[in-house]
Amino acid sequence: MSYIVALSGGIASGKSTIAHLFAQLGVPIIDADIIARQVVEVGTPALEQITKHFSQEILLENGELDRGQLREIIFNNDHERLWLNNLLHPIIAQETQKQFAQQTNPYVIWVVPLLIENNLHQLADRVLMIDIPEALQLERLINRDRISESLAKKMIATQVCLTDRLAFADDIIVNDGDLESLKIQVDNLHKQYLHNLKVKNSYE
């Protein structure tokens, strides 16, 4: 199994953009959000349980999950968010481990939004956190999801605060500039990770 670098950060902090930059360097990406979408596709047992819990009204006309409606429900009701997490997290974890086992590259980037909240950092060999000013994070979230400021603030509030998040970091990417700034930081980290692995392997 490959060396696992967990990439995390608050919602709308730039995880997908940074993961894409690593992918351009040939690094495999295992994305918890993508896995989370796959496990609730039409016909899956998880979607059946969600429909049974929330009723058919949680579905779009084509039978797919209405993510917008579900988001409104769970970020306004802690009990329902907990129920959903308890259902999905074990399923997502099982699929994640399966993908880890299939990797042969020196290292992989594991994108995990709730790395700290769900105590998953222990499964990674190294933790890479994104540092972004909260005002910029809020602005990006509102624009990205086209939601109200109040809902955006609720979504951010459900996550660990930036200071606590950064305390778990082995490495930090600062995302308060342009794409070129991110690319330079990713390139440097990529070289660092390959060097670290080379040194590690020389001692084994």
With a pLDDT cut of 70, the percent of the chain lying above it is 99
Question: Is the whole-model pTM more than 0.95?
Answer: no
Class of the CATH-defined domain 1-28+105-204: alpha beta
pLDDT value, residue 112: 95
pLDDT value, residue 75: 87
Q: Taking Cα atoms as reference points, which of 125, 127, 133 lies closest to residue 112? A: 127
| Alpha-carbon dihedral angle through residues 188, 191, 193, 194, given to the nearest 10 degrees | 170
pLDDT value, residue 136: 94
pLDDT value, residue 201: 80
pLDDT value, residue 28: 97
Rounded CA separation 22/202 (Å): 24
User: Which residues of the chain are under the pLDDT cut of 70?
Assistant: 1, 204
The model's pLDDT over 58-82, given as tens digits with 9 standing for 90+, comes to 999 999 999 999 999 998 899 999 9
Q: How do the domains of the chain map onto residue ranges? A: 1-28+105-204, 35-102
Rounded CA separation 78/73 (Å): 9
